[in-house]
A and B are shown apart, each in its own frame.
Chain A
Amino acid sequence: MSADFLYGIEVIINGLMSGVLYALVALGFVLIFKASGIFNFAQGVMALFSALTLVGIMEGQVPFAHLINAVFGTSIHNFGWTVPAILAIILTMGVMVIFAWMVQKFLFRHLVGQPHIILFMATIGLAYFLEGVGDLMWGSSIKRLELGLPQGGSLAIENLTSGLGGDDFYGFFIDKLDIVATIVAILLVIMLVAFSQFTKYGRAMRAVADDHQAALSVGISLNFIWVLVWSLAGFVALVAGVMWGAKSGVQFSLSLIALKALPVLMLGGFTSIPGAIVGGLIIGVGEKLFEYLVGPMVGGATENWFAYVLALVFLIFRPQGLLGERIIERV
């Protein structure tokens, strides 16, 4: 096998991994959309916010330090303690649950019955709001996320595969962190699917996703389910935030990843969990492959737009996505 071909395979493998991470963010969208019909533009910012909170708690930062200092003229920054990762994760989850509750109570309860586009724009407002709050609470500089996760290229794999392509080939370079991320994502998906299929609350969630009125009529509390769903989405956002953050630091560009999740959803359909996975993988691989093959000819950076154009082309032929339901319009 030629080295070029093998490098191509490496690109595909890396694409699959980044696809898994996209799918992670997309999952959060699907959860919320399935249960409430809301398209949560703020999902990416939730990933950023949760990661920021995690780092902040772990390093003992004082929340809103910047603001407090400006108003009161003080100069505090740190509590002086550090919190172990596990505890910090639990505390961050707590914050996300509070966030889910507040979003439900103060925002979406007042927007029941509004057309989808209004709900969508509300989540855009929420995204800006949350981003600002995150910046105010923890500051906007790039944070390093030290969770003890393995990093760097996997020597084992490199050594294992170096013989395959002759002297020019140095073995597959696969980042250990990506492997961990893939495993975590797969576990998360299995957990979510199991929860949704086999537990009482999961069933209630699916009922709410199908028909609000019917769910109400069998005694399911819509508000509780919605808080549950937003908390789950918050958890998914946290995992995504941690994975991306460990890779490239916790910074604003994290929220842009959420935008990338949109083509994933367009391919996989907005209501399908397996669709989010499949869509993520297709986009991940497609992007990397396109950049590898075509990028050098056009100046590179095609990853900025390829996912969107791919989804657009795909949608023209199949407006409901890969796994979505066919839209039959009735009058």
Chain B
Amino acid sequence: MLYRESGDFKTSYKADNQTFPIAFDRYRYWVVLAVAYLVIPFVITDYWASAILVPFLIYSIAAIGLNILAGYCGQVSLGTGGFMAVGAYACYKLMTAFPEVNILIHIVLSGGVTALVGAAFGLPSLRIKGFYLAVATLAAQFFLVWLFNKVPWFFNYSASGQISAPEREFLGVAVTGPNTSAWASYLVCLVFVTACAIIARNLTRGSLGRQWMSIRDMDIAAEIIGVNPLRAKLSAFAISSFFIGISGALFFAVYLGAIEVGEAFGINKSLLVLFMVIIGGLGSIFGSFAGAAFLVCLPVILKLIGVDLLGWPTDLVAHLQLVLIGFLIMFFLIKEPHGLAQLWNVIKEKLRLWPFPH
């Protein structure tokens, strides 16, 4: 009986436009934030941080980024891994070149660098559409990975070709490097996630968001009614890459600490984030979170069941994972192309009527 909107009338456009029009949703949102900021940092363990929470937060940012590009603006990109790499390497170069500057600033700047690179690779989208664009983004993916592998300036001429994040602090607490505690990495990522989600929400509900969606739905009509396709598409690429770059920087500096570019940011990464966006729901911020959570937790759960519970060999479980993920993608696309977000909306609709059937 809690989930109702009757009697909850809006008397201003401002109230009508808000993110959570139903009171219950609003309270739920604040509760989640409170738990996330005030409870979890005190109870988090290393395992939970590194296996689930930190990757979930980082991938959420990447998924939001890709969702803006593919879900809201309709430009399919298979280059997410490559752009995450740009963020990571930008962060590395900044960290090593300007060690006195705050790491958080470096991360934001890495996002900025990635935004510029993303906009550059987005230029072809003015001539190339649909599949062709998806394949063109592969050019970005493979080229960027090759670039970071081969050009020694990017990894500061180190012999191994790997990059690793030097230790950095914020307010006296280690945030990168081997001495970082779980709650510190978690909090840093959480702060970025909150900021990114708020910005994404603001952009997608305003004029720019509508421009993106109009390009997605019918770009010719959009142009005829006055949308400048160059500005709209490039802004989508730039802003999307900003988020993806931040997630790449966090992935490198806070999560892994050291990466080898082919492994960490290869085509599989691009596909992984794309799956998160599909399963979570195209064109939905909540969906980005849902998809990220799903695809981060799934391998963990499968491993717990398969290896720990049933004693199966790990490679068998890895194969089963592929089968399951592939199956779920096809299943979702058939049953609910709008992903978990839509599923959630349907559940909420039913809740609003509960206990009545309709």
Task: State the A residues within 8 Å of B (CB).
Answer: 39, 66-67, 70, 107, 110-111, 114, 116-118, 120-122, 124-133, 135-136, 140, 256, 259, 262-263, 265-266, 270, 298-302, 304-305, 308-309, 311-312, 315-316, 319, 329, 331
Contacts and interface: CB of A to CB of B under 8 A. Distances in A.
Contact of A329 (B127, B132, B220, B278): B220
A228 B301 CA distance: 39
A59 to B, nearest CB: 19
B326 A125 contact: yes
B135 interface: yes
A308 B326 contact: no
Contacts of B131: 39, 116-117, 120, 270
B155 interface: no
B138 A262 contact: yes
B124 A305 contact: no
Given A117-B76, A311-B135, A331 B320 contact: no
B127 A129 contact: no
B127 A121 contact: no
A206 to B, nearest CB: 21
B146 A305 contact: yes
A324 to B, nearest CB: 10
B8 interface: no
In this complex, the interface size class of chain B, counting residues with CB under 8 Å from chain A, is 35 or more
Contacts of A132: 319-326
A299 B152 CA distance: 10
Nearest to A135: B319
B142 A304 contact: yes
B278 A312 contact: no
A110 B334 CA distance: 6
The 4 closest A-B pairs by CB, nearest first: A129-B326, A125-B329, A132-B322, A128-B326
Nearest to A111: B334
Contacts of B328: 125
Contacts of B136: 266, 308, 311-312, 315
Contacts of B145: 304-305
Interface string B111-127: 00000000000001001
Secondary structure dominating the interface of A: helix
Contact of B337 (A39, A118, A316): A118
Contacts of B329: 121-122, 124-125, 128-129
A301 B315 CA distance: 30
A301 B128 CA distance: 27
13 contacts: A66-B319, A70-B310, A70-B312, A111-B334, A127-B326, A132-B323, A133-B323, A262-B135, A265-B135, A304-B145, A312-B128, A315-B132, A315-B136
Interface in B314-358: 315-316, 319-330, 333-334, 337
Secondary structure dominating the interface of B: helix
A129 B326 CA distance: 4
Contacts of A265: 135
A308 B322 contact: no
B338 to A, nearest CB: 10
A309 B220 CA distance: 27
B274 interface: yes
Contact of A315 (B127, B151, B313): B127
Contacts of B333: 111, 114, 118, 121-122, 125
Nearest to B262: A304
Contacts of A263: 135
Given A117-B130, A305-B146, A308-B143, A129 B327 contact: yes
B208 interface: no
B134 to A, nearest CB: 7
B224 interface: yes
A136 B220 contact: no
Contacts of A135: 319, 322
Contacts of B316: 66-67, 70, 136
A259 B138 CA distance: 9
A129 B132 contact: no
Contacts of A128: 322-323, 325-326, 329
User: Quick one: which of A128, A262, A309 has the most chain B CB within 10 A?
Assistant: A128
B312 to A, nearest CB: 4
Contacts of A66: 313, 315-316, 319
Contact of B323 (A110, A129, A309, A331): A129
B47 to A, nearest CB: 25
Given A132-B326, A262-B135, A308 B142 contact: yes
Given A129-B330, A312-B139, A331-B224, 12 more contacts: A70-B311, A121-B278, A128-B326, A131-B322, A132-B320, A140-B319, A266-B135, A299-B150, A311-B136, A316-B128, A319-B132, A329-B220
A180 to B, nearest CB: 30
